[in-house]
């Protein structure tokens, strides 16, 4: 049930990020006179409540089917047919487990991941983590900019560099949509996701791939060829994104979850189910793209020009390839899906950037300024590459951005694992031993394959370069020093013990519990105080 009113008889309060405790009454609110659309979860436990929780998972799932995923999916299908489908399956399962932890952190503590990082780490460490998180947001936005430019080129024959500039106008579109409320925005995102699904399902049905080979690719792991490892890392980087962890832990605060044991557990459970539904649809879309690309590029009827496109397939070439093989309508369907992906990804990227800045720096700026800043940082390199390198250079930039996201993943994932496994932060809701073991195994695998590829790629680049021997020696020294710094940072995050003692909301010893025990907040307000008003106001300004 949605509600937009705020009872003025109840004191407004917000959990402070510093040591300021709880503020109550009209004299000291962090945000003055806020009226925001909020979704209230009924106290009565019922499966009907699942529909109240539906929404954040679809916003999060967009990051798994953005133009960066399209690019890597197309290349993996073109070069290795269905052999890398198991990467998508493994990444989707890992993503569900990890995203459910992000949602649980927000539901249980009432604070999102970036805020926990600011409270837990020292100033220098926190600043570095903030810079890395901002870089992840920009790296996520680059594929969205280029993907939207490609879509405009396919639909209206707009030059790619002009399309890059036009994507800046999506800022105005986002601001226009925000004023209609969170529920309508979630419905729009779900509509765009289903639009992408329908487009690719129709094309897949027409391409008629070999479904037995698809099943084999899903359940038989294999990495053949020198480029398979690189593409596998790109697929992982495009699937499990660091900025998504910050985003999901904040989006769940848009629901007023009952502050009780049953209400908290129900919230965690239903958010997991909701995420599973959204990520399953994203998984099917990714599988469809890889299968479509693999089926088309393995066709015996390809002419030499189309065969050349398959050897170095990007988003732009894919349109002409589908047009030649499946027909003009197939190219248009692909362009519509790509445009829907790019525009919907803009929303999630903007929200993630806003939450990252607010959480790490305790700084909130208006969404249009934050969107303009993030979009400018993504447009500048995209525009330069599009002008100099054309569509081919832009496609390579998407792959580079995806790999940056993959290498940055530990700096968001490790704090999440540490916080959700800590009883001093989560209380009785801390991860069980089995959950902790599983998530650490998954994380260790992701980090190990990233580090392996980083070291081997650097060695290959060094040996195959035309540098003189002395230059190679100095380059090797600086390169391996950078790798050691990266490893040291990962080990520091993994081994550092949590020092900030924060308890779940309404548990013994928590700030909110102490205020309630002292009679500062009445029963109704204590149940329905979440979400934090600063999060809701920032997300959907009136």
What local confidence, expressed as pLDDT, does residue 170 receive?
Answer: 67
CA distances (Å), 281 to each of 249, 278, 284, 287, 314, in order? Answer: 21, 5, 5, 10, 23
Q: What is the mean pLDDT of residues 407-421?
A: 92
Ramachandran class of 32: left when φ > 0, alpha when ψ lies in -120 to 50, beta otherwise: beta
- 18 compared with 220, residue with greater pLDDT: 220
pLDDT band of residue 160 (cuts 50, 70, 90) is: confident
Q: What is the CATH number of the domain that holds 376?
A: 1.20.1740.10
CA distances (Å), 515 to each of 54, 189, 504, 523, in order? Answer: 31, 38, 14, 11
27 with 55: CB under 8 angstroms? no
64 with 307: CB under 8 angstroms? no
Residue in the block written with tokens 């519990």: 513
255 strand-pairing partners: 39
124 with 368: CB under 8 angstroms? no
Asked if residue 516 is part of any domain, the answer here is no
From CA 137, how far away is CA 386, in angstroms rounded?
20
Given a cut of 90, whether residue 97 has pLDDT beyond it is yes
Which tens digit of pLDDT belongs to each residue from 115-152? Answer: 999 999 999 999 999 999 988 888 888 888 888 888 98
Of the segments 89-98, 335-344, 398-407, which one has the largest average pLDDT value?
89-98
Return the ∠ at Cα 538 (arms to 533 and 539), rounded to 5°.
100
Asked if residue 6 is part of any domain, the answer here is no
222 with 83: CB under 8 angstroms? yes
Residue 200 CB contacts under 8 Å (≥ 6 apart), including other chains: 285, 288, 289, 292, 337
From CA 249, how far away is CA 430, in angstroms rounded?
15
What local confidence, expressed as pLDDT, does residue 345 receive?
Answer: 83
Asked if residue 498 is part of any domain, the answer here is no
Domains: count for the chain? 1
Asked if residue 459 is part of any domain, the answer here is no
Alpha helices in 26-112 (DSSP H): 49-53, 56-61, 67-80, 85-109
Q: Which of 183-187, 422-426, 487-491, 530-534 has the lowest mean pLDDT?
A: 530-534
Asked if residue 321 is part of any domain, the answer here is yes
Given a cut of 90, whether residue 399 has pLDDT beyond it is no
DSSP state of 456: H
What local confidence, expressed as pLDDT, does residue 222 receive?
Answer: 87
75 with 313: CB under 8 angstroms? yes
pLDDT band of residue 213 (cuts 50, 70, 90) is: very high
Asked if residue 230 is part of any domain, the answer here is yes
pTM of the entire predicted model: 0.83
Asked if residue 295 is part of any domain, the answer here is yes
From CA 331, how far away is CA 243, in angstroms rounded?
31
Residue in the block written with tokens 């934090």: 532
For the four alpha carbons of 383, 387, 393 and 394, in that order, the dihedral sign comes to: positive
From CA 470, how far away is CA 491, in angstroms rounded?
32
Secondary structure element (H or E) that encloses residue 310, with its range = helix 304-311
Given a cut of 60, whether residue 530 has pLDDT beyond it is no
pLDDT band of residue 506 (cuts 50, 70, 90) is: low
From CA 429, how far away is CA 510, in angstroms rounded?
14
Q: What is the mean pLDDT of residues 385-410?
A: 77
Asked if residue 184 is part of any domain, the answer here is yes
Which tens digit of pLDDT belongs to each residue from 245-295? Answer: 999 999 998 888 887 888 889 999 999 999 999 999 999 999 999 999 999
Burial class (CB in 10 A: 0-12, 13-18, 19+), 205: exposed
What string of H, E and C letters represents the secondary structure of 254-298?
HEECCCCHHHHHHHHHHHHHHHHHHHHHHHHHHHHHHHHHHHHHC
Q: What residues make up the domain containing 203?
A: 40-433
What local confidence, expressed as pLDDT, does residue 492 receive?
Answer: 93
């Amino acid at each position: 049930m949605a509600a937009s009113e705020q009872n003025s008889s109840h004191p407004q309060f917000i959990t402070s990020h510093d040591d300021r405790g709880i503020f109550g009454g009209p004299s000291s609110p962090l945000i003055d006179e806020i009226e925001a659309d909020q979704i209230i979860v009924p106290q009565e436990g019922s499966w009907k409540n699942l529909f109240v929780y539906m929404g954040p998972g679809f916003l999060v799932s967009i990051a798994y089917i953005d133009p960066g995923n399209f690019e890597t999916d197309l290349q993996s299908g073109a070069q290795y047919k269905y052999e890398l489908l198991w990467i998508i399956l493994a990444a989707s399962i890992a993503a569900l487990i990890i995203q459910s932890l992000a949602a649980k952190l927000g539901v249980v503590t009432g604070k999102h991941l970036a805020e926990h990082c600011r409270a837990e780490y020292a100033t220098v460490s926190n600043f570095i983590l903030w810079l890395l998180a901002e870089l992840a947001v920009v790296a996520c936005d680059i594929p969205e900019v280029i993907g939207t430019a490609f879509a405009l080129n396919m639909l209206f024959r707009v030059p790619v560099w002009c399309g890059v500039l036009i994507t800046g106008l999506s800022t105005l579109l986002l601001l226009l949509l925000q004023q209609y409320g969170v529920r309508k925005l979630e419905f729009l995102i779900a509509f765009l996701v289903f639009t992408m699904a329908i487009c690719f399902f129709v094309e897949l049905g027409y391409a008629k791939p070999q479904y037995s080979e698809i099943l084999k690719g899903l359940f038989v792991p294999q990495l053949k060829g020198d480029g398979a490892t690189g593409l596998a890392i790109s697929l992982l980087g495009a699937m499990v994104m660091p900025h998504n962890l910050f985003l999901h832990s904040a989006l769940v605060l848009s629901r007023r979850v009952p502050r009780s044991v049953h209400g908290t557990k129900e919230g965690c459970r239903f958010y997991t189910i909701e995420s599973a539904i959204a990520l399953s649809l994203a998984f099917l879309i990714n599988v469809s793209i890889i299968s479509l690309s693999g089926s088309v590029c393995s066709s015996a009827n390809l002419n030499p020009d189309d065969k050349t496109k398959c050897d170095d397939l990007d988003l732009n070439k894919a349109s002409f390839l589908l047009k030649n093989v499946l027909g003009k309508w197939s190219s248009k369907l692909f362009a519509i899906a790509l445009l829907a992906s790019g525009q919907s990804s803009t929303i999630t990227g903007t929200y993630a950037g806003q939450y990252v800045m607010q959480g790490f720096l305790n700084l909130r700026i208006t969404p249009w300024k934050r969107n303009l800043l993030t979009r400018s940082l993504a447009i500048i390199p995209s525009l330069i590459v599009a002008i100099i390198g054309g569509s081919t250079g832009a496609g390579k930039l998407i792959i580079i951005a995806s790999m940056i996201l993959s290498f940055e993943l530990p700096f968001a994932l490790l704090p999440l694992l540490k916080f959700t496994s800590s009883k001093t932060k989560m209380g009785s809701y801390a991860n069980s031993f089995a959950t902790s073991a599983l998530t650490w195994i998954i994380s260790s695998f992701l980090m190990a394959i990233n580090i392996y590829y980083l070291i081997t790629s650097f060695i290959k680049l060094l040996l195959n370069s035309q540098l003189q021997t002395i230059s190679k020696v100095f380059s090797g020294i600086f390169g391996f020093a950078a790798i050691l710094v990266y490893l040291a940072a990962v080990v520091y995050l993994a081994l550092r013990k949590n020092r900030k003692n924060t308890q779940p909301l309404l548990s013994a010893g928590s700030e909110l519990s102490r205020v309630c025990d002292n009679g500062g907040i009445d029963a109704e307000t204590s149940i329905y105080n979440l979400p934090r008003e600063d999060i809701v106001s920032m997300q959907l300004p009136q």
